[in-house]
Amino acid sequence: MKEIVLKTEDLCVSYGQKKILKKINTLFEKNKITAIIGPSGCGKSTFLKSLNRTVEEYGGNMEGKIHLNNVNIMDMPLQNLRKSVGMVFQLPIVFPFSIYNNMIYAPKYFGEKKEKLNDIVIKNLKKTGLYDEVKDNLKMMATKLSGGQQQRLAIARCLTVNPEIILLDEPCSALDIKNTANIENMLLELKNEYTIIIVTHNLSQAKRIADNVIFMDEGQIIEEGNQNEMFDNPVNVRTKEYLMYMRN
Ligand SMILES: Nc1ncnc2c1ncn2[C@@H]1O[C@H](COP(=O)(O)OP(=O)(O)OP(=O)(O)O)[C@@H](O)[C@H]1O
Ligand SMILES: [Mg+2]
């Protein structure tokens, strides 16, 4: 049976008078990768950012409901929500500190015991395959890592506070094929432990890693479902057109 972790009900988001998301109703399955696809400007990033309320930091106004394990996220302390629903952006954001200090930043902020920090660093760097590459250089400035390594560090850092859901907004768009493959393989591993929601422009990427796909256009969900069904047999004419356009 499907286990649902996150559910939106008539989610609407606007920036000032401009309505961006128009009644989004959907479900996200636990330990699955859901890819959100759709044309530029259709509201994918806005949707992703609404799932942990970061959209409000950008001036977005949210209406409707989002339930995380049956609790309305509007009723949760913001800190708990941001801990449970972590986010990674298109360009890796590493802090201008050492790799080690990047990794302990959030746990320390949340009051983690000092003696546990080392283990947290090692465990989460291992999850992203970065540990062997950096174990002898943990004091090195994180900004000296390669782009692909920085993106893996950003993901590892997001894991340090034990999120349940990870949101990724085009995490590979600035990376080459090898680094993209690294991240994709890592996400396939991570989904055993986390629920992953990823925005991507890359249909081949969605095909390689996603269980479920949501196709959006003009602030609405046009079609969604299992990735094989969506890619092989899209029902809606707009989905068909978009897939055709993106494949050519
Ligand atoms: N902070 C903001 N203030 C006002 N309008 C915004 C803001 N952020 C986004 N928008 C508008 O909301 C709409 C949706 O933007 P969004 O970034 O969600 O699209 P997207 O699907 O992620 O596009 P892309 O594929 O290009 O990243 C666009 O018209 C954009 O101009
Ligand atoms: Mg976007």
CB of 15 within 6 A of ligand 1: the answer is yes
Q: Which residues have beta carbons under 5 A from ligand 2 (an ion)? A: 45
- Binned at pLDDT 50, 70 and 90, residue 91 comes out as confident
State the pTM of this model: 0.96
CB 15 within 8 Å of CB 192: no
Q: What tens digit of pLDDT does each residue of 191-208 get?
A: 999 999 999 999 999 999
Q: How high is the pLDDT of residue 1? A: 79
Percentage, residues of the chain above pLDDT 90: 94
- Res 248 pLDDT > 80: no
- Res 105 pLDDT > 80: yes
CA of 43 to the centre of ligand 1 (A): 6
CB of 151 within 6 A of ligand 1: the answer is no
Residue 21 CB neighbour total at 10 angstroms: 27
- Res 92 pLDDT > 90: no
CA of 173 to the centre of ligand 2 (A): 11
CB of 41 within 6 A of ligand 1: the answer is yes
- Res 50 pLDDT > 90: yes
- Res 216 pLDDT > 80: yes
The closest-lying atom of ligand 1 relative to the alpha carbon of residue 16 is: 4
CA of 201 to the centre of ligand 2 (A): 9
Which of 45, 50, 201, 246 to mutate to test ligand 1, by most ligand atoms within 8 A of the CB atom?
Answer: 45
Which is nearest to 99 in space by CA: 145, 33, 147, 161? Answer: 145
- Binned at pLDDT 50, 70 and 90, residue 157 comes out as very high
CB of 58 within 6 A of ligand 1: the answer is yes
CB of 20 within 6 A of ligand 1: the answer is yes
What mean pLDDT value characterizes the chain?
A: 96
Cα–Cα dist 66/28, whole Å: 11
CB of 40 within 6 A of ligand 1: the answer is yes
- Res 226 pLDDT > 90: yes
CB 12 within 8 Å of CB 21: yes
The closest-lying atom of ligand 1 relative to the alpha carbon of residue 216 is: 21
Look-up of token digits 């250089």:
137
Residue 202 token pair: 């890359």
CB of 61 within 6 A of ligand 1: the answer is no
The CATH number that applies at residue 39 is 3.40.50.300
Q: What tens digit of pLDDT does each residue of 106-145 get?
A: 999 999 999 999 999 999 999 999 999 999 999 999 999 9
Span 81-90, average pLDDT: 94
Q: What tens digit of pLDDT does each residue of 17-31 get?
A: 999 999 999 999 999
User: What 3 state SS string does the chain have?
Assistant: CCCEEEEEEEEEEEECCEEEEEEEEEEEECCCEEEEECCCCCCHHHHHHHCCCHHHHHCEEEEEEEEECCEEHHHCCHHHHHHHEEEECCCCCCCCCEHHHHHHHHHHHCCCCHHHHHHHHHHHHHHCCCHHHHCCCCCCEHHHCCHHHHHHHHHHHHHCCCCCEEEEECCCCCCCHHHHHHHHHHHHHHCCCCEEEEECCCHHHHHHHCCEEEEEECCEEEEEEEHHHHHHCCCCHHHHHHHHHHHC
Span 239-247, average pLDDT: 92
What's the total number of domains in the chain?
1
Q: How high is the pLDDT of residue 174? A: 87
- Res 36 pLDDT > 90: yes
Q: How high is the pLDDT of residue 169? A: 97
Residue type, 115: E
CA of 115 to the centre of ligand 1 (A): 42
Which range of residues forms the domain containing residue 58? Answer: 4-247
**Atom 18 of ligand 1, nearest CA residue:** 43
